[in-house]
Amino acid sequence: MGSTQLFAYERFRSLHERQTAFIMPNAWDGASAVLLARAGFEALGSTSLGFAFSLGRQDGIHAVTRDEAVAHAAFLGRVSGLPVNGDLEDGFGAGPQECAATVRAGIEAGLAGLGIEDTTADPAQPIHDFDDAVARVRAAAQAASGRILLTGRTDNYLHGRADLDDTIRRLVAFAEAGADVLYAPGLPDMDAIRAVVAAVAPKAVNVLIGPTKPVTLAELSAAGVRRVSVGGALYRSALTSLVATARALREGDLSVFSGAISGSEISGLLPKA
């Protein structure tokens, strides 16, 4: 473990030890990473969706390889100078050993943190059985211990399994297996979020933006959440702007680029040569 990676890990870990939540936006390329750093964020996440789509590939089916995903997340850290949490999906393999290999690759690449999901990359059976899911997180935690911040994640709600009891059961087991942060994207309301926080305490909880009904960062913080990520939402927001601009341009409006950020402004934030 190099000194740069150790520093990033310790810096990232300390953010989770605060009594208030912080926002970890998800970047998808060098420009988005440096612009988010300039905006004052203290850490970044990669986004498997944003990265896969930027390559013209599908997300969540291993269309992006482990080496590509890890290298991309590490690049975001180098260009931004911030600790980066790698969105490394299911650890790029069904077995515990693949998850451990992904953790070791993340450490070697300089990542501060990473997540291991209980997804399978198989649309017919998208979520690993409970025992398999726990074994995978346990192997990842053994590889990660004291070297990189591990997030244990269940995607029940993203795959139509709106079962809070099973979601909490999985997160508690992931915490007991050694995960540092627990994460269940798609929790439906603040009551569900509070239940997750209470179940895994004192481990940190990450929330994806918030429940369906918008809430503030202060409300999530008061509920005990320690980290808020946005997944692919920033990338989708940028593409929404592109669609609207393209429509106006197609209709002949040549003023649509008024006020756009300049290339020189972005260039000034990037490393020199």
| Domain range list for the chain | 3-232
Q: Residues 203, 182: contact at Cβ < 8 Å?
A: yes
Q: Model pTM?
A: 0.96
The model's pLDDT over 113-128, given as tens digits with 9 standing for 90+, comes to 999 999 999 999 999 9
pLDDT of residue 264: 97
CB–CB of 127/118 below 8 Å? yes
The answer, yes or no, to whether residue 73 has pLDDT greater than 80, is yes
Average pLDDT (39-63) is 97
pLDDT class of 78 with cuts at 50, 70, 90: very high
Amino acid identity of residue 53, one-letter, is: F
Instruction: Identify the pLDDT of residue 167.
Output: 98
What value does the mean pLDDT take over residues 228-247? 98
Question: If pLDDT is split at 50, 70 and 90, which confidence band does 109 have?
Answer: very high
143-190 pLDDT tens trace: 999 999 999 999 999 999 999 999 999 999 999 999 999 999 999 999
Residue 1 scores a pLDDT above 70: no
pLDDT at position 273:
72
Find tokens 């850490």 and name the residue: 43
**pLDDT score recorded for residue 2:** 85
Average pLDDT over every residue of 93-110: 97
Q: Which fold has domain 3-232?
A: TIM Barrel (3.20.20)
Question: What is the pLDDT of the chain when averaged over all its residues?
Answer: 97
* pLDDT higher than 70, residue 29: yes
Q: Which residue has the tokens 């997030």?
A: 151
Contact assessment for residue 41 and residue 23, using Cβ atoms and an 8 Å cutoff: yes
Q: Residue 213's pLDDT is what?
A: 82
- Tell me the percentage of the chain whose pLDDT exceeds 70: 100
Structure tokens at 5: 């990676």
Mean pLDDT of the 94-109 span? 98
Question: pLDDT tens digits, residue range 186-222?
Answer: 999 999 999 999 999 999 999 999 887 889 999 999 9
